[in-house]
Amino acid sequence: MNKSNAATFTLTDDTTGSAYKLPVIPGTMGPSVIDVRKLYAETGHFTFDPGFTSTGSCESGLTFIDGDEGILLHRGYKIEDLAENSDFLEVAYLLLYGELPTAAQKKKFDHDVTYHTMVHEQLSNFYRGFRRDAHPMAVLCGVIGALSAFYHDSLDIHDERQRMIASFRLVAKMPTIAAMAYKYSVGQPFNYPRNDLSYSENFLHMMFAVPAEPYKISPTISRAMDRILILHADHEQNASTSTVRLSGSSGANPFACIAAGIASLWGPAHGGANEAVLNMLQEIGHKDNISEFIKKAKDKDDPFRLMGFGHRVYKNYDPRAKVMQKSCHEVLAELNLDDPLLELAMALEKIALEDDYFVEKKLFPNVDFYSGIVLKALGFPTSMFTVLFAVARTVGWVAQWKEMIEEPGQKIGRPRQLYTGPQQRPFVPVSKR
């Protein structure tokens, strides 16, 4: 933890007049934090912060977000620069190791991840235990958790080499396992990964190739897929990342921790935003109806909301959206799809970007708006949208888990509560109630 710069906050108990000095700890960027670790010992009180929206739960050097200014940095690098100039595995290396790789380091890292993409053959039998109509996220949760039953040589979290092996396995095998979940749901044979393809190309191949014909991968499509993965790789201490860290704080194995993160991501308030965009577009139905729904969105008494516009974190423009917007238009131009829903999306984007109400309130299209459109254009069913989010976020979860395990002062998570139940009372035998 960064040492205090000698700044303090004074907390005064208005009942007794007692004053308590609380140290202030600065970060390299962003707000400083008030250290309340000794608050209970000194005052007999805890803090109360439902949702932990005002509480710093950990120290991290991975990701910095300034929502007011629309800034997202990974290890100090702007997300726009990484998405434009890197591929997903280079960003993965940066998150895991703290620096961008040299050419030799990247070559070795790409090789090591690529040669870990196959899964244990017996794991394919595991899928047969699920119903064909099972949600892919349910399958992903179960299979990732089950990896700990297949790879016993990477479960010791205190062994640096085993942590490294587990990290590689999770990043490498997640696309394979996700694609298998999709193939199982549509009754098609599993595709084995190919070592001659990039990470994104391989995922597309495992998702959409069929034995009856060769599968051609467009550079525009694979680049769009790579950008989606980069833009979702990590996003600071959100619900799923905090779940991974909290699970890991107990000493749970990494596969169980990532399975817990997937379960948290599954919630519609977290990972389902781009799916909600498609549902909204279907509700609007046709571009001729846009003005009517724009009016509904502006009406505070109307429950309708434009999904994919604005962001809870970014009060300015979502920096990831700028990158995804470019890929979205490139993909739609290349595929030249005659899809009314995609035409509707582009018309809605144009109106929202020019409408004074949305501009004034900074309700710009966010990354979920564009990624939802791109994924639909690429042929992903909406049930796979959150799965794809999990594929991208795995490296962030792993990097956060690894950072937490290697923190010398790491403790098991133990949030406190404000108890509002009955006070202690005598037990009454059932015959006397």
The residues that are catalytic are 311, 368
Q: Is 70 in contact with 314 (CB distance < 8 Å)?
A: yes
Give yes or no for a contact between 366 and 310, defined as CB atoms under 8 angstroms apart. yes
∠ Cα 129 135 136 (to 5°): 80
3-class SS at 222?
Answer: helix
The DSSP element (H or E) to which 119 belongs, if any, is: none
Task: Evaluate the CA torsion angle 320, 325, 326, 328 in order and state its sign.
Answer: positive
Task: Name the helix (H) or strand (E) containing 364.
Answer: none
**Contact between 147 and 172 (Cβ < 8 Å):** no
Contact 31, 9 (CB under 8 A): no
- C-alpha to C-alpha distance for 110 and 102, rounded to whole angstroms: 12
Task: For residue 150, give both structure tokens.
Answer: 């297949």
Number of residues that this document lists for the chain: 433
User: Exposed, middle or buried by CB within 10 Å (0-12, 13-18, 19+), for 351?
Assistant: middle
The rounded distance, in Å, linking the Cα atoms of 41 and 126 is: 50
Contact between residue 203 and residue 224 where contact means Cβ atoms under 8 Å apart: no
Q: Angle formed by the axes of helices 385-405 and 160-185, to 10°?
A: 170
DSSP-assigned letter for residue 30: S
Nearest alpha-carbon partner for 202 in 114, 119, 116, 121: 114
| CB neighbours of residue 253 within 10 Å | 21
Strand partners of residue 71: 66
Per the structure block, which two tokens stand in for 344?
């509707």
Residues with Cβ < 8 Å from 381, sequence gap 6 or more?
A: 182
- Token pair belonging to 241: 């990342």
DSSP string covering 96-142: HHSSPPPHHHHHHHHHHHHTT----TTHHHHHTTS-TTS-HHHHHHH
Q: Are 315 and 67 in contact (CB under 8 A)?
A: yes
The Cα–Cα gap between 239 and 51 comes to 9
